[in-house]
Structure 1
Amino acid sequence: MVPRYFFDIHDDAVIIDTDGRDLSDRQAARGEALSRGAAFAADPQKLGGSGVVVVTVRDGPDRVVMRLRLVCQIEDVAD
């Protein structure tokens, strides 16, 4: 049986994944978490004001198997 993973997004708001995705293993779930986090970090409209996005990966309603935290920080420096 292929495990189902859920990818909750936390930035300035929380988006709970209620559908999940069937993936072969945790390594595939890690890749999916990276992909989803990168999509938020790459789009200024999606990335919250804190510049931090966390993807919490679950394999059931209450069982967290990993977290991905991306920090996107841009600093203007003097010329």
Structure 2
Amino acid sequence: MSRYFFDVDDDGVVQDDQGVELINLHLARNYAVRVAQDCASRHLSEGRNRSVAVSVRDPAGRRILKISLTCVIEDGASAHPLPR
């Protein structure tokens, strides 16, 4: 098992000082995606446009992965219809 650290940039960076022990990088990526989705879901439910990023670090502090999501809500006046 390896310890991975998940820093969240969601209107300011929150650095993970504890980390999470996971079997491999694939599971760390899945964990980072869930964290980013949770942040994005909160912003969307509050009606806010925002970008969210989760950086994954190894125990040496090297960034090994970054997940970025952008949340945008458009009202009917600014939305573009899908092509048929």
- The AA in structure 2 aligned to 1:23 is L
Is the contact between residue 12 and residue 50 of structure 1 (CA under 8 Å) also seen in structure 2? no
Within-5 A mapping of 1:2-17: 2-17=1-16
Q: Given the two structures, how large is their TM-score scaled by the length of structure 2?
A: 0.81
- Paired residue secondary structure (1:43): helix
Moved over 4 A (4+): none
Q: Any stretches of 5+ residues in structure 2 without a counterpart?
A: 78-84
- The AA in structure 2 aligned to 1:6 is F
Within-5 A mapping of 1:12-51: 12-44=11-43, 51=50
Q: Any stretches of 5+ residues in structure 1 without a counterpart?
A: none
Is the contact between residue 11 and residue 50 of structure 1 (CA under 8 Å) also seen in structure 2? no
**C-alpha RMSD of the superposition:** 2.1
Shift of 1:61: 4.3
- The AA in structure 1 aligned to 2:70 is V
Tell me how far apart the structure 1 counterparts of residues 6 and 56 of structure 2 sit (CA, whole Å): 5
Q: Given the two structures, how large is their TM-score scaled by the length of structure 1?
A: 0.85
Shift of 1:76: 1.2
Q: Who wins on radius of gyration, i.e. which is larger?
A: 2
- The AA in structure 2 aligned to 1:39 is D
Closer/same/farther in 2, CA of residues 50 and 76 from structure 1, 3 Å limit: closer
- The AA in structure 1 aligned to 2:25 is R
